[in-house]
Structure 1
Amino acid sequence: MENILLLIVLIICTITDIKSRKILNIVTFPAILLGFLYYLLINGFDGFLFSGKGFLVGLGVLFIPFVMGGIGAGDVKLMAAIGTMKGAFFVFYAFLYAAIVGGLIALFIIIRRKDVKGFFARITNSVLLLSLNKRKESVQVSNRDLAPSFPYGVAIAIGTVAMMFMEGRI
């Protein structure tokens, strides 16, 4: 039951993330609520704790990238929804698979844009900015200096489906 619901949520979130670069609250919040309610009804308080731990791990694994501006809040809420439906162990490994997929997508984008030189320039600039910020100097960054981005919900969906395959649930 939860696998079908999860797949529906992932499909909707992937489509909206590709089209509008948003993962909608109208999808993630009900998914979170349904995850909690499902396990509460099936396993009582232990089920609620199962979903709660998954929720916290789902939030936690993407919290730092969100705070640093690398991903959006919708990505974090999607991982939390995955955690409520599948638990802490599942969402942690789904996150690892998503990180690998996201890295491969980013590498593909860099190579396709023939921007390997720009990639290393951005890394160098980031290191320099960090060292300058320690001295409290102000530095302006233009949009031209930023790395290309992609809808990370796609990587989350692929990583989650990969984890479902690894469990033998699909």
Structure 2
Amino acid sequence: MSNFMIALILIISVITDLRSRKILNIVTLPAILVALIYHTFTPGLDGFLFSGKGFLVGLGLLLIPFLMKGIGAGDVKLLAAIGAWKGAMFVLYTAVYAGIIGGLVAVVVLVKNKRLGFTLKNMLFSLMFLKGVKGSLQISDNGNNSISIPYAVPIALGALLTFLMEAFL
């Protein structure tokens, strides 16, 4: 059941993220709640701990990028929902694969838009001062220069790679 639920959640999230650049709470929050309930009633307390640990790992992996305004709250909740359904190790592998895929996509998009150097300078500033560049200090030369990608796509591809890894290893 958990594989079906993850597939459904990811398909809906990818579609809405591509169309409106939003991952809907009406998808992620019930998914988290149902996962916790499902895993509690199937194997009991061990299932609840499995689901809860996965939820916390999924939430924690994207919390700092979210706080630095580098990623949206929907992406954080989507990864937390994956963790609640599939556990800590699955969501950890998913996040690693999603990070690699998302990074590659971002580099391609930045090179295409001739923004790679500027973005690297912004990232260096953010890392040095642990401050997002969307706050009080705007480094961009004009207000409409932000480039972003719908991160549900790399998350879904990361989950797919993790499913394949589970199946063949």
TM-score (norm 1): 0.86
Aligned to 2:95: 95
Match in the other structure for 1:158: 157
The size of the alignment, in residue pairs, is 160
Residue 110 and residue 38 in structure 1: after superposition, are their counterparts in 2 closer, same or farther (change >3 A)? same
Q: CA shift at 1:121, angstroms?
A: 2.8
Give, as a single letter, the amino acid of the residue that structure 1 aligns with 2:164: F
- The answer as to whether partners of 1:122 and 1:145 remain within 8 angstroms in 2 is no
| C-alpha deviation, 1:112, in angstroms | 2.7
Cα shift at 1:42: 0.9
Structure number with greater Rg is 1
Aligned residue number for residue 18 of structure 1: 18
What is the CA–CA distance in structure 2 between the aligned matches of 1:168 and 1:81, rounded to whole Å? 21
Q: Which runs of 4+ in 1 moved over 3 A?
A: 125-131, 138-142
TM-score, structure 2 length as denominator?
0.87
Partner of 2:118: 121
Q: Is the 8 A contact 1:94 1:160 kept in 2?
A: yes
How far the C-alpha of 1:145 sits from its partner, in A, is 4.8
When the two chains are superposed, the root-mean-square deviation of aligned CA atoms in Å is 2.0
The answer for the alignment partner of 1:62 in structure 2 is 62
- How far is the alpha carbon of 1:140 from its aligned partner? 3.6
| Larger helix proportion of the pair | 1
Listed as ranges, the gaps of 5+ residues in structure 1 are: none
Residue 126 of structure 1: how far off its partner (Å): 5.0
Q: What letter corresponds to residue 156 of structure 2 in structure 1?
A: A
* Map of 1:5 onto structure 2: 5
* d(CA) in 2 for partners of 1:66, 1:164: 26
Cα separation, partners in 2 of 1:57 and 1:119, compared to 1, 3 Å? same
